[in-house]
């Protein structure tokens, strides 16, 4: 039997190259080996109340991109968190076995308290409990995570252990499956491509938009003139070339170091390769977006699949807890 995987995807709107290479392509690859449950976690997005008027649209954009990227509703359950209300019931019940002290020492929580002490709500401190409910509602055994999310998963495992100790073996302890793709760098020279830094390329961007963004990117700051020798190791365009043109990466490095090749030429090559890479995804995306009824159907059928599993778990949990 295939192991069950759960991943929660935050509805940040359109997927960018960082999300795709770092996470989504892995979701696509896992569809065959595992039973995959992929959930766009809209309730989690409410821990900050900004832009809630965009939430529905962002969820749709995310689902559209995920389908275009290759998630197949025949192979996985793809749905929206709030469409399976059982998750909030389990959240409440798991809250009863979660010591507050565990939640107060979560690093990301402590960071938020420092950053925005005026906006620390009950939902924010309970975030890891809701995340645990997301995973165990489907009795998932495997969770793909980045390094930054390991503390949350460890907490989920502790909550599971505590529940199982109290009420009998109910949930499997979810195991982390570490994401191995190196960080995709930003077009502004920063370490991380990120939507919030606006140094990203969306999967859905047009080829022209993509080329324009790449041509405007920051390269080796020490290379002021075309004739100056460049330093590929400090250049984000070079790092992106490693992602998109690995087969000619030595020539690219050599051309840069010897100044036989300029940054403009290098960027044109990168832009063209990114466009080539994204072309099939974009074609699919345009097709999918034309059929909004299909997207509704995917979300509805995904939620039905998920709810069938969720109801079984909730019934068992309530019975074990004496309800």
The CA-CA-CA angle for residues 200, 12, 183, to 5°, reads: 45
The correct pick among 23, 133, 155, 214 for binding ligand ADP (CB under 6 A) is 23
Q: Is 112 a catalytic residue?
A: yes
Question: Which member of 112, 213, 267, 305 is catalytic?
Answer: 112
Residue 12 binds ligand ADP, judged by CB under 6 A: yes
The correct pick among 8, 13, 18, 230 for binding ligand ADP (CB under 6 A) is 18
Give 189-192's long-range contacts (Cβ < 8 A, gap of 24+): 189/217, 189/218, 189/221, 189/236, 190/236, 192/18
Binding partner of 272, given Na ion, ligand ADP, none, CB within 5-8 angstroms per partner class? none
Residue 106 binds ligand ADP, judged by CB under 6 A: no
In DSSP terms, 35 is beta-bridged to 4
Q: What letter would DSSP give residue 182?
A: P
What is the sign of the dihedral through the CA atoms of 215, 221, 223 and 229? negative
Point out the residue whose Cβ comes nearest to ligand ADP: 22
Residue number with CB closer to Na ion (26 or 194): 194
In DSSP terms, 40 is beta-bridged to 9, 80
The torsion angles phi and psi of 178, rounded to 5 degrees, stand at -70, 135
Binding partner of 281, given ligand ADP, Na ion, none, CB within 5-8 angstroms per partner class? none
Measured distance between the N- and C-terminal CA atoms of the chain, rounded to whole angstroms: 32
User: What is the C-alpha separation between 177 and 213, in angstroms, rounded?
Assistant: 33
Residue 170 binds Na ion, judged by CB under 5 A: no
Residue 76 C-beta: closest distance to ligand ADP, Å: 16
Q: Count the site residues for ligand ADP by CB under 6 A.
A: 14
The correct pick among 25, 47, 108, 194 for binding Na ion (CB under 5 A) is 194
Beta pairing, strands 142-145 & 175-178: parallel
- Determine if residue 141 is left, alpha or beta; phi over 0 gives left, psi from -120 to 50 gives alpha, anything else beta: alpha
140-199 binders of ligand ADP (CB under 6 A): 146, 181, 183-184, 192-194
Residue 188 known to bind ligand = no
Residue number with CB closer to Na ion (20 or 163): 20
Residue 111 C-beta: closest distance to ligand ADP, Å: 13
Q: Is 3 a catalytic residue?
A: no
In angstroms, the Cα distances linking 124 to 106, 137, 159 are 11, 20, 17
Q: Which residues of this protein are in contact with Na ion, per CB under 5 A?
A: 194
Q: Which residues of this protein are in contact with ligand ADP, per CB under 6 A?
A: 10, 12, 18-19, 21-23, 146, 181, 183-184, 192-194
Residues annotated as part of the active site: 112, 192, 195
């Amino acid at each position: 039997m295939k192991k069950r995987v759960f991943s929660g995807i935050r509805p940040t709107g359109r997927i960018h190259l960082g999300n795709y290479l770092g996470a989504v392509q892995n979701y696509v690859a896992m569809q065959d080996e595992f039973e995959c449950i992929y959930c766009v976690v809209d309730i989690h997005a409410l821990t900050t109340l900004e832009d809630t008027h965009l939430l529905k649209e962002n969820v749709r954009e995310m689902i559209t991109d995920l389908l275009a990227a290759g998630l197949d509703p025949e192979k996985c359950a793809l749905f929206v968190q709030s469409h399976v209300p059982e998750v909030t019931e389990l959240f409440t019940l798991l809250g009863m076995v979660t010591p507050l002290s565990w939640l107060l020492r979560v690093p990301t929580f402590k960071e938020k308290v420092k950053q925005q002490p005026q906006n620390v709500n009950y939902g924010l401190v309970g975030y890891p409990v809701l995340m645990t409910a997301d995973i165990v509602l489907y009795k998932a055994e495997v969770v793909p995570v980045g390094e930054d999310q390991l503390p949350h998963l460890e907490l989920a495992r502790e909550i599971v252990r505590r529940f199982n100790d109290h009420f009998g073996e109910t949930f499997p302890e979810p195991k982390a499956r570490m994401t191995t793709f190196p960080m995709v760098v930003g077009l502004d020279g920063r370490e991380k491509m990120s939507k919030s830094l606006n140094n990203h390329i969306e999967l859905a961007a047009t080829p022209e938009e993509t080329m324009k963004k790449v041509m405007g990117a920051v390269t080796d700051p020490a290379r002021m003139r075309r004739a100056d020798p460049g330093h590929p190791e400090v250049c984000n365009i070079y790092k992106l070339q490693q992602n998109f043109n690995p087969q000619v990466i030595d020539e690219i490095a050599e051309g840069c170091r010897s100044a036989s090749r300029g940054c403009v030429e290098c960027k044109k090559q990168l832009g063209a390769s990114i466009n080539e890479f994204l072309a099939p995804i974009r074609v699919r995306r345009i097709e999918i977006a034309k059929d909004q009824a299909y997207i509704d159907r995917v979300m509805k059928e995904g939620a039905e699949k998920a709810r069938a599993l969720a109801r079984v778990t909730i019934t068992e949990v309530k019975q074990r807890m004496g309800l």
